[in-house]
Amino acid sequence: MKHIIILGDGMADWPAESLGNKTLLQYAATPYMDKLARMGRTGRLMTVAPGFHPGSEVANMSVMGYNLPKVYEGRGPLEAASIGVELQPGDMAMRCNIICIEGDNIKNHSAGHITTEEADVLIQYLEEKLGTDRIHFYTGVQYRHLLVIKGGNKQLDCTPPHDVPLKPFRPLMVKAGVPEAQETAELINALILKSQELLAEHPINKKRIAEGKDPANSIWPWSPGYRPQMEPLAEKYPVIRKGAVISAVDLINGIGYYAGLRRITVQGATGLYDTNYENKVAAALEALRTDDFVYLHIEASDEAGHEGDFKLKQFTIENLDKRVVGPVYEAVKDWDEPVAIAVLPDHPTPCELRTHTAEPVPFLIYYPGIEPDNVQNFDEVACVEGSYGVMKEDEFMNEFMTASALHND
Ligand SMILES: [Zn+2]
């Protein structure tokens, strides 16, 4: 049996008064997800281990069954993998935002949503001026870049810049979490201040200011870590001899890299509501022909949740149902080699809250021959009655990868 996980990022939500106290998954028309819930079995999954923030990287690693306290190394190392930077033992990687400082305050975490093209010039300039045998800057995407420090101590207290708009930056600079990290903290803070001197005079920023745009006038490194000790999925689940990941999001592609999944890049995958669903489904089906496992990640509903836009989020959920879950099910249902399908969000992104929460998410598992439970719909409320109950850690992945194998005769 082959396996596909269809992940609707941030799809879970809270009941809303404007929807008659329904959640969006209850309110939206999702005939295919409901059908698979009806024919399959359901439950809920804790995707955020105690003490972790409900980030997409945390939640998606949990969905794949990784033990967060053991493997979590922050965003830096995942993004390093996504942009092709191979971390050596002792290399500390950090997400390095390029941000806008106004006066002494952080104006925004994205340097006014700078383009990758402009940011690349600035990052290369910083690498030329501040890079050493020990320190390297790498261009990522838009405002999201990478700083690697050889022999850095990751026990640092860093502040994500998107959490502190309009706050004075100096008190928020890097602090050592333990005395041994003092040298690393001082090194990073010196880089922040030097980057401000260098970037203030850069022609790209002079041009941006002249055009009324925010200058990208400081780096802001955070989320440090080393290369994660993640065992490839194939080692834990022999049924996965070959697997693939399809996502428009760097962090997810980075997880896929360490999980030993090959990355499939899809034309027109934007991470937004206008993403090319058809190309993603076609790529997933093609991968299922040759591989045993596909992780198909769709970002759109999370973005709609962050925007607090109920109508848009409903649209993204209905698109996931009609343009992803439906076509995948219809395509594989008659294959000689059966395909097990799981559908779930990574975490809720309630429109009302506009950010992630750590509550358990509903999931469904369907494969030919599965004994269905009594749940008739796929949503946060119906799945409370699901026969899997509330799962945690690698229980969902173990169930999905092994239970179906019993039917594989
Ligand atoms: Zn997410």
3-state secondary structure the chain: CEEEEEEECCEECCCEHHHCCECHHHHCCCHHHHHHHHHCEEEEECCCCCCCCCCHHHHHHHHCCCCHHHHCCCHHHHHHHHCCCCCCCCEEEEEEEEEEEECCEEEECCCCCCCHHHHHHHHHHHHHHHCCCCEEEEEEECCEEEEEEECCCCCEECCCHHHCCCCECHHHCCEECCHHHHHHHHHHHHHHHHHHHHHHCCHHHHHHHHCCCCCCCEEEEEEEECCCCCCCHHHHCCCCCCEEEECCCHHHHHHHHHCCCEECCCCCCCCCCCCCHHHHHHHHHHHHHHCCEEEEEECHHHHHHHCCCHHHHHHHHHHHHHHHHHHHHHHHCCCCCCEEEEEECCCECCCCCCCCCCCCEEEEEECCCCCCCCCCCCCCCHHHHCCCCEECCCHHHHHHHHHHHHCCC
Q: In Å, how far are 208, 280, 326, 392, 401 from 46, measured between CA atoms?
A: 44, 27, 26, 5, 18
What token pair was written down for 272?
A: 């937004």
What token pair was written down for 189?
A: 């803070």
Please give the distance, rounded to the nearest whole angstrom, from the Cα atom of residue 255 to the centre of ligand 1.
13
For CA atoms 70, 74, 80, 83, give the dihedral sign: positive
Span 311-348, pLDDT tens digits: 999 999 999 999 999 999 999 999 999 999 999 999 99
Please give the distance, rounded to the nearest whole angstrom, from the Cα atom of residue 334 to the centre of ligand 1.
32
Please give the distance, rounded to the nearest whole angstrom, from the Cα atom of residue 57 to the centre of ligand 1.
7
Domain ranges for the chain, please list them: 2-71+230-408, 79-225
The DSSP bridge pattern shows strands 339-344 and 361-366 to be antiparallel
Give the chain's mean pLDDT: 95
Residue 268: predicted pLDDT = 78
Please give the distance, rounded to the nearest whole angstrom, from the Cα atom of residue 133 to the centre of ligand 1.
35
Please give the distance, rounded to the nearest whole angstrom, from the Cα atom of residue 59 to the centre of ligand 1.
7
Residue 275: predicted pLDDT = 76
Residue 403: predicted pLDDT = 72
Residue 406: predicted pLDDT = 66
Neighbours of ion ligand 1 (CB under 5 A): 9-10, 56, 302, 346
What token pair was written down for 37?
A: 């819930």
CATH code linked to domain 2-71+230-408: 3.40.720.10
Residue 163: predicted pLDDT = 85
Residue 409: predicted pLDDT = 44
For residues 293 and 262, is the Cβ–Cβ distance under 8 A? no
Please give the distance, rounded to the nearest whole angstrom, from the Cα atom of residue 18 to the centre of ligand 1.
24
Please give the distance, rounded to the nearest whole angstrom, from the Cα atom of residue 34 to the centre of ligand 1.
22
Low-confidence ranges of the chain (pLDDT < 50): 409
The Cα–Cα gap between 127 and 76 comes to 17
Please give the distance, rounded to the nearest whole angstrom, from the Cα atom of residue 409 to the centre of ligand 1.
36
Please give the distance, rounded to the nearest whole angstrom, from the Cα atom of residue 371 to the centre of ligand 1.
30
Residue 270: predicted pLDDT = 72
